[in-house]
Structure 1
Amino acid sequence: MSLNNISENAENLHKSAQEYIEHNYDYYRLSAFKKITKGTTSMIMFIIIGAVLFGAMLLLTFAIALFIGAWLDNLGLGFLILGAFYIIIALIIYYGFRKTIERKVLVKASKDFFDGD
């Protein structure tokens, strides 16, 4: 092997390594962009759907509280009963399903983050 041949191989190796690094950098930039965009889109959809469902739930709650209050001939008692019902449901969800919800969120988030799909 001549010195010129070794020099050309070293130069080709350097170019190949440089191209590999550039392509790898571009890939990870695109991957990060995709994940950020997907997360942002999911968050926006969650906020929109949550706002609509919150409005519907609020109106439904008022209707039920008014119905219970009219049935008991005491509107305040109808709202109090419904408020207590929601507090009980919140406590059941918090103490009964907290670990299950955390686990499902962690599995879903890690799948989205590490799989890249």
Structure 2
Amino acid sequence: MAFEKLTNSIQDLNDNIRALGHSSAEYYKLDLYKKIIRGVIFIVNMMLIGFICLIALLFLSIAVAITIGEAIGIPSAGYYIVGAFYLLILIFIWVFGKDYIRKIILIKSSRTFFND
């Protein structure tokens, strides 16, 4: 009689531990899914904003190149000057901005994934 109660209690404990393990696994699956979706949404938003800014920058660059070309009197010179300006910015970012950009990405991604 006492052994039956003990056996039943151990069986109930075993069932409860299995249920807890299953619930914990499901919770962590949902939590991981939530964090992945947040990251994907963040990346998609940044890509969309970046694309729109890139289009705006393209039109502004063309306008500036035309204005510079008209001011100098050589239409193609404006485009070369704007292209050289962007090339200098690219070199500057490549040389000095790698660590800064990496730091920003790590901070933003850690906020997205680890803060609820």
TM-score (ref. length: structure 2): 0.89
Contact 1:66/1:79, CA 8 A, preserved across alignment? yes
Query: Is the CA contact (8 Å cut-off) linking 1:65 and 1:78 kept in structure 2?
Result: yes
More displaced stretch, 36-45 vs 12-21: 36-45
| Aligned equivalents of 1:41, 1:75: Cα separation in 2 | 43
Kept after mapping to 2: 8 A contact 1:35/1:116? no
**C-alpha distance after superposition, 1:36-91 (max 9, x if no partner):** 22122112212221121111100000000000000010111111111111111111
| Structure 2 residues without counterparts, runs of 5 or longer | none
Q: Which structure carries more relative contact order (alpha carbon 8 Å, separation 6+)?
A: 2
User: Identity percentage over the alignment?
Assistant: 28
Q: Is the 2:66–2:78 Cα contact (8 Å) retained in structure 1?
A: yes
Answer yes or no: is 1:5 the counterpart of 2:9: no
Please, what is the CA RMSD of the aligned residues?
1.6
Is 1:84 equivalent to 2:61 in the alignment? no
Q: TM-score, normalised by structure 1?
A: 0.89
* Counterpart in the other structure of 1:59: 59
1:94-113 alignment, distance < 5 Å? 94-113=94-113
| Structure 1 residues not aligned, in runs of 5+ | none
Contact 1:31 1:116 in 2 (8 A): no
- Aligned partner of 1:6: which letter? L
Q: Match of 2:44?
A: 44
